[in-house]
Amino acid sequence: MPKAELVWGKKTYIMGIINLTPDSFSGDGIFSSSDPMQQALTQAEEFIRDGADILDLGAESSRPGAQPVNAEEELDRLLPVLREIKERELPALVSVDTWKAEVAEACLQAGADWINDIWGLRADARLAGVIARYKATVILMHNRSQSAAVRDLGALGSSYSGVNYADLIPDIKSDLTESIRIAKEAGIKKESIILDPGIGFGKTVAQNLALINHLDKFKDLGYPLLIGPSRKSFIGQILDLPVEEREEGTAAAVAIGIARGADIIRVHNVKMMARVAKLADAIVRN
């Protein structure tokens, strides 16, 4: 079956999160199950039935306080699942959530379509060149979070401490512009770049809310926008709810994000958020 063909502005596209980790903040890390491979494939197939256009495979948790994973272990988790998804010819684009050039190259060789870099090409100087060489799409995420700056929120989990900004939106736009420069100088084409303002990464509750509410201010950069508010701690802090009870809050963030110009939503609950996106699209894209 053919993959989804993305036409920006036509609809909101759905990216389903497949966490090939034992320690995801959202509690859905597949490597804590007895049969990770089967669970990952089942989840991938369910996501596509429920409306996912993109599958985002990640094998290193970016939750606050998570322990780093070396490239070898990351690939041990990623490649078997990626290869099986490609073998089954599932009708979705496959994104790999990594910042390491070595991991990206092996995954692109195995058929990955996108690289989702939470550090916006700033963590590994080799990564941009790898992506350019394979003519892959890259998601450039904004991220000023510091691994040591983590707040323990008790029953609500943990979050990255906020970072000081001179002016939130212009500062984030400036950082993303630098990531775009890195991408283009490496040979990545404009049409292969997607921007993610990095909700939840080094931002306070108020900053995350402002980022969603003013997402439209990023449109003048000229690139598709992805947001990933799903189940994040700012929702838990506002609603005073643990991670397993944040779907309604996620839905509100997704709906407002779409109204403000999001082109892709990165979510855990594909079925529910695809429905939210469909109705939001009927309102704002009609």
Separation between Cα atoms, residue 132 and residue 244, nearest integer Å: 38
Residue in 266, 271, 275, 278 annotated catalytic? 266
Assess whether 133 carries a catalytic annotation: no
- Of 63, 173, 232, 260, the active-site residue reads 232
Residues 6 or more apart whose CB falls under 8 angstroms from that of 88 comprise 41
Coil vs helix vs strand at 262: coil
Number of neighbouring beta carbons within 10 Å of residue 88: 12
Alpha helices (H) along the chain: 36-50, 71-87, 101-109, 127-133, 168-186, 205-213, 233-239, 247-259, 270-284
Residues with Cβ within 8 Å of residue 236, at least 6 apart in sequence = 153, 156, 157, 242, 243, 246, 249
Beta carbons of 14 and 52 less than 8 angstroms apart: yes
Which residues lie closer than 8 Å to 2 by C-beta, 6 or more apart? 91
Contact 48, 91 (CB under 8 A): yes
With 0-12 CB in 10 A as exposed, 13-18 as middle and 19+ as buried, what is 282? Answer: exposed
Instruction: Give me the residue label for tokens 């993610």.
Output: 196
The span from the CA of 140 to the CA of 115, in Å, is 9
Six-digit token pair at 155? 């029953």
> Is 266 noted as a catalytic residue in this protein?
yes
- Residues catalogued as catalytic: 232, 266
